[in-house]
Structure 1
Amino acid sequence: MKVKKQEKSAGSLRRLPPFSALRAFEATGRRGNLIHAAEELYVTHGAISKQVKALEEALGVTLTRRAGRGIELTSKGRWLIPYLTKAFDDIDAALRSVSSEAFEGDMVIACMPGLTNAWLIPRLPSFMDQYPNVSITVLPTTQFNNYDADIEIRYGRPEWPNRNITMLRQLNVFPVCSPRLMNGTHPVRRIDDLFKHTLIDEPGGSHWREFFVSQGKDPSKVTRTLRFQDFTHCITAAREGVGVAMGDDLTMESDLTAGRLIRPLLAQISRQSLAYYLLTAPDQPLTAAMRAFIDWLTIEIQRKDRN
């Protein structure tokens, strides 16, 4: 009797490259750097490079190419990265959901008000859904000395004493304004047009001064300024069309996507010496809930072009 051969259903056999190679390439593409990927995965720079090469050989395509002393993604590499990142995020979320009951307790987080309002609050529900037994208190870092926070998120240079410090993300900084301002009597088409507007900044005006110097312009030509101690007030004023503020590619994501603010110019500066950092006390043991939050925060804050 002849047995009819059973057809394979779609997806019944997955011919996937080694998991380690996929993970190495995804980390490299997401972090944009072999060294940072190696630090994230706790392996050597050479090991990451070898795994990426193995993935290219397995797929028969070129995913990366040399760019100076580093590497950059090819068009196929850029196309593949979002799919891998989503797949790893889904695996991570599923595993966390399975074991979420083991994570419980209270946690105090100190975060800069601007980042809390514009970025952290919209994303906290995803963490709380994964860890329903974890309670969080968020305090402003401006009052950190008055509270005992478990985890701090700060912006600046890594010069805080008696803290374990981990860099979360560097920023690109650029002018932002209300769309209404661009439809007014003095639309911003070039750098010099900025001098016709009220320039909004924090006390000291360092953001605008640094920007103009980077563009070869004289900061002393600024005639009107409005300064607030709180960064959130700067952005609120910009939304209301009061003037032009300096924003960044992290806290401005939602405003730019929704059209509340726009970038009138392509010019920007990269803050190599300034970044967002995660701080913990060196003598404080990390609870399971704290580790879960740190892992979640690190992934979320390094993920670009997502709201």
Structure 2
Amino acid sequence: MRRLPPFSALRAFEATGRRGNLTHAAEELYVTHGAISKQVKALEDALGVPLTRRAGRGIELTSKGRRLIPFLTKAFDDIDAALRTVSSETFEGDMIISCMPGLTNAWLIPRLPSFLDQYPNVSLTVFSTNQLNSHEADIEIRYGRPDWPNRNITMLRQLDVFPVCSPRLMNGPEPVRHIDDLFNHTLIDEPGGAHWREFFVSQGKDPSKVTRTLRFQDFTHCITAAREGLGVAMGDDLTVEGDLAVGRLVRPLLAEVRRQSLAYYLVTAPDQPLTGAMRAFINWLTLEIQRKDRS
């Protein structure tokens, strides 16, 4: 007979370790910061060992906590996969998804095999567009502020944004070692340059010192240009994680900005009933987009 701590405590600690702090874990599990803290403490009491310790205004994992996290993450992934396999036959039908081009290309398409394997009776049509309410989509994935009227809106994930560039640039004559080194390079952004301006202000630097820029209307083109060594772009921890994992892009600096007012959202019509196909996709998307350890 297995003697396991409470499932809720294991789940709270796994989310805390994977997401990096109590606040992000609370957002993922839709509970309060205090509830997560109590569950983590309950697990530590049950095991009789410290798993976390204070670090500034937050917490960090102890060596035992870091050792435990990968085992818990795999266990929860296995449980999720088993449950989806058992229940996948109840989810079927056709569905239209509208998703932003950058996320479609860099994140959604590489992960769709996972969804299609789990739900073989669901057929998808994906429209890649920045326009809300396009093509009468059943489900829309949007990035921005949730000020879209007459919509059901659920936050999927906030982003951390940071400079990214080609490894060739870092191996060239002017590598980026410090923030001021960025001013020696072409800085790639969307029209207006808001991403770089926000970054420099957050780091206490003057954005007016930027001398060379390259602008593209589509975020996907910004990242493509960075891969080709045309300069340094602002990436985020969702759409460039695959590039970072395989070395197509690198992070020259640790500095980053948490975009508090902007996030990815799931958007549906207010009176639209959820079909089996829609429920399947929403369940899969919500879990997959919150994972920060997948490439």
The question of a shared fold, defined as TM-score above 0.5 by the shorter chain, is answered with yes
Which amino acid is the alignment partner of residue 21 of structure 1?
Answer: A
**1:93-133 alpha-carbon deviations (Å, 9 max, x no partner):** 11111121111001111111111111111111011100000
Partner of 1:20: 8
Deviation at 1:172, TM superposition (A): 1.3
Partner of 1:275: 263
| Cα distance in 2, alignment partners of residues 47 and 188 from structure 1 | 42
| Cα distance in 2, alignment partners of residues 19 and 146 from structure 1 | 41
1:141–1:154 Cα contact (<8 Å) kept: no
| Cα distance in 1, alignment partners of residues 94 and 262 from structure 2 | 30
Report how many aligned residue pairs link the two structures. 295
Gaps of 5+ in 2: none
Deviation at 1:86, TM superposition (A): 1.5
| Cα distance in 2, alignment partners of residues 180 and 38 from structure 1 | 39
1:157–1:273 Cα contact (<8 Å) kept: yes
Deviation at 1:154, TM superposition (A): 1.2
| Cα distance in 2, alignment partners of residues 86 and 44 from structure 1 | 25
1:24–1:37 Cα contact (<8 Å) kept: yes
Judged with a 3 Å threshold, the aligned counterparts in structure 2 of structure 1 residues 243 and 34 are, in CA distance, closer, same or farther, namely closer
Partner of 2:231: 243
Which amino acid is the alignment partner of residue 97 of structure 1?
Answer: T
Partner of 1:10: none
The answer to whether structure 1 residue 195 and structure 2 residue 195 are counterparts is no
1:176–1:261 Cα contact (<8 Å) kept: yes
Judged with a 3 Å threshold, the aligned counterparts in structure 2 of structure 1 residues 299 and 146 are, in CA distance, closer, same or farther, namely closer
Partner of 1:126: 114
Partner of 1:5: none
Q: Select which of 218, 226, 233 maps to 2:206.
A: 218
2:22–2:36 Cα contact (<8 Å) kept: yes
TM-score with structure 1 length normalisation? 0.87
Comparing 120-129 and 178-187, the one that deviates more: 178-187
Deviation at 1:135, TM superposition (A): 0.7
| Cα distance in 2, alignment partners of residues 219 and 247 from structure 1 | 18
Which amino acid is the alignment partner of residue 80 of structure 1?
Answer: L
The answer to whether structure 1 residue 112 and structure 2 residue 100 are counterparts is yes
Q: Select which of 107, 110, 127 maps to 1:139.
A: 127
Two-structure CA RMSD over aligned residues (Å): 2.3
Partner of 1:79: 67
| Cα distance in 2, alignment partners of residues 303 and 14 from structure 1 | 28
The answer to whether structure 1 residue 207 and structure 2 residue 195 are counterparts is yes
| Cα distance in 2, alignment partners of residues 155 and 101 from structure 1 | 32
2:130–2:142 Cα contact (<8 Å) kept: no
| Cα distance in 2, alignment partners of residues 47 and 76 from structure 1 | 22
Comparing 131-140 and 211-220, the one that deviates more: 211-220
Deviation at 1:34, TM superposition (A): 4.9
Largest Rg, 1 or 2: 1
Judged with a 3 Å threshold, the aligned counterparts in structure 2 of structure 1 residues 212 and 19 are, in CA distance, closer, same or farther, namely closer
Gaps of 5+ in 1: 1-12
Judged with a 3 Å threshold, the aligned counterparts in structure 2 of structure 1 residues 70 and 162 are, in CA distance, closer, same or farther, namely farther
The answer to whether structure 1 residue 100 and structure 2 residue 88 are counterparts is yes
1:141–1:152 Cα contact (<8 Å) kept: no
1:87 is paired with a residue whose SS is: helix
Deviation at 1:141, TM superposition (A): 3.3
| Cα distance in 1, alignment partners of residues 35 and 212 from structure 2 | 54
Judged with a 3 Å threshold, the aligned counterparts in structure 2 of structure 1 residues 255 and 161 are, in CA distance, closer, same or farther, namely same
| Cα distance in 1, alignment partners of residues 161 and 230 from structure 2 | 19
Percent of aligned pairs sharing the same letter: 86
2:130 is paired with a residue whose SS is: helix
